[in-house]
């Protein structure tokens, strides 16, 4: 089973991507930028990304509790702590595998952070 989840971007068809793809019990969330929070600091942009990600994961039948891996892309190395603290607010108990990388620039020059997530939806238990 494959399910493509749209984020409503006009570029999805042009570029050929989905906000997320569910394949079986796995969900792959594409790099998500802080759309609508361009004027926020790194922490505010990270919170916006988590809001967008939560919606896409929910549409795929997953939650942030199902996230097994994250990849954070920062344009300013000094934002690592602010971004990491917001990440920790959501994941300090779950502790997914996480990578943080500093890049020269993201698609929108106002974005300070972009995040990808991979989730694994637990198989339903067969207890009776």
Given the candidates 3.30.1330.40, 2.40.40.20, 3.40.50.300, 3.20.20.70, the CATH classification of the domain at 2-120 is 3.30.1330.40
Least confident of 5-14, 16-25, 32-41: 5-14
Mean pLDDT throughout 83-109? 97
Beta strand pairing status for 20-23 and 113-120? unpaired
Cα separations in angstroms, 21 against 16, 33, 52, 53, 95: 12, 17, 15, 12, 22
The residues, any chain, with a CB within 8 Å of residue 58's CB and separated by 6 or more, are: none
Question: Is a pLDDT exceeding 60 seen at residue 64?
Answer: yes
- Where exactly are the structural domains of the chain? 2-120
Host H or E run for residue 88: helix 80-91
What's the distance, CA 23 to chain centroid? Answer: 17
Partners of 69 in beta bridges: 97, 118
Mean pLDDT throughout 83-99? 98
Mean pLDDT throughout 42-56? 97
Question: Is a pLDDT exceeding 90 seen at residue 123?
Answer: no
Mean pLDDT taken over the chain: 95
């Amino acid at each position: 089973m494959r399910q493509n989840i749209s984020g409503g971007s006009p570029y999805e068809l042009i570029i050929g991507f989905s906000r997320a793809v569910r394949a079986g019990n796995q969900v792959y969330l594409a790099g998500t930028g802080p759309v609508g929070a361009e004027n926020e600091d790194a922490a505010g942009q990270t919170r916006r990304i988590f809001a967008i990600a939560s919606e896409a994961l929910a549409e795929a039948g997953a939650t942030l509790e199902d996230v097994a891996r994250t990849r954070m892309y920062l344009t300013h190395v000094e934002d690592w702590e602010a971004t990491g603290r917001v990440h920790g607010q959501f994941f300090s108990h779950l502790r997914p595998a996480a990578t943080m990388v500093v890049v020269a620039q993201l698609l929108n020059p106002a974005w300070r952070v972009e995040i990808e997530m991979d989730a694994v939806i637990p198989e339903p238990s067969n207890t009776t």
